[in-house]
Amino acid sequence: MTQSPKMGRRGLIAATAAGLAMPSLLRAQGAGPGAWPERPIRLIVPWPPGGSTDVVARIFQAKLGEVLGRPVVIDNRGGASGAIGGGEAARAAPDGYTWMLAYDTEATNQTVMRLPYKTLEALVPISLVATGPLALVAHQSTPYRSFQDVVDAAKKAPDSINYATSGVGGLAHVATTLLQQKGGFSLTHVPYRGGGPAVSDAVAGHVPLFMSNVVIISQHMKNGILRPLGVTTRTASRHVPGAKSFAEQGVGDFEAPTWWMLMGRAGTPEAIQERMSAAIRQVMQDPEVRSKIEEQGADVVGSDPATARTFLTREIDKWGAVIQSANIRADT
């Protein structure tokens, strides 16, 4: 280093001290290359182990940790249709060390429940990770060979047929409510505390019908235990061969895809948000991660934050209207 003629010993010491302090300042502000992360990342999964959100998170967990250079630790916070985990994420420090893989209930909970936070104020969408169809399935022991069989039976004996979902007010519940409204029939809802417990009872035949994302029922459809009757995408899905969409079966323009979204705490430094967004998009392009998620019955998206926010805003508005019209509440 060449010393300026005008820089004395004190000036040199001051400049050196400032230079030494700069890395600490960058780390504190969450700026600069390599400043974040310095410790393991916490990924809240607002559902119990075994559900689709848990499955998707564990598929990309290791790769995301590899890209970020720090371990990603999954923290299952199930209960209240994802609201307990959502509340935990909303209370987290905005330091980039707590994130959440939200499920579609993050949109419907805004209207169904009296939450202590508003999603689009407390949390920031980072990436729409994946979307997929919901499928209505019947246990192999039931007489229902088609969706029309269910409609006919339900019209003859309203509310006599039970259907399970992963919880009150979730997209599966709200979508089935809209399906009944449009189809003019009535079923009885049996909510569970997550997809894991629900699929266990559905496979055991304790409940005749189950509306679920394909991720946790794909294998059970393949082995014939659960019989697909229809999917909620606008057209037939490659993930459920042989099953038509409800729109194709005469239920108007019905469409209700399920989804998973990475979200962070509002107020997290922009530099950290940008790095996490870039990291998750990189992970979603990894051939192994992509194939494993799609094998489960979902379509990888890996969007940018702006696209994720637009999508979530529309979901909150669309399903909020259905929830209000059907007077669905957390205690129903």
Closest Cα to residue 245, out of 149, 321, 179?
179
Reported as a single tens digit per residue, the pLDDT across 283-310 is: 999 999 999 999 989 999 999 999 999 9
**Mean pLDDT, rounded, of the chain:** 90
Instruction: Give a yes or no: residue 284 inside a domain.
Output: yes
Q: Read off φ and ψ for residue 309, nearest 5 degrees.
A: -65, -45
Type of residue numbered 322: V
Reported as a single tens digit per residue, the pLDDT across 165-192 is: 988 888 999 999 999 999 999 999 999 8
- pTM recorded for the entire structure: 0.83
Type of residue numbered 105: T
Q: Are 196 and 204 in contact (CB under 8 A)?
A: no
121 lies in the same domain as 47 = yes
- pLDDT for 8 equals 43
CATH code (residue 220): 3.40.190.10
Give yes or no for residue 27 having a pLDDT over 90: no
User: Checking DSSP bridges between strand 299-300 and strand 123-132, what pairing results, if any?
Assistant: antiparallel
121 lies in the same domain as 146 = no
Query: What gap in Å lies between CA 292 and CA 19, rounded to an integer?
Result: 46
Reported as a single tens digit per residue, the pLDDT across 203-225 is: 999 999 999 999 899 999 999 99
Closest Cα to residue 164, out of 136, 142, 143, 183?
136
53 lies in the same domain as 195 = no
Both tokens assigned to 61: 């967990």
Question: What range defines the domain where residue 281 resides?
Answer: 41-132+257-326
Query: What gap in Å lies between CA 125 and CA 303, rounded to an integer?
Result: 10
313 lies in the same domain as 225 = no
First-residue to last-residue Cα distance in the chain = 73
In the chain, the number of structural domains is 2
Both tokens assigned to 303: 């969007």
Q: Are 209 and 136 in contact (CB under 8 A)?
A: yes
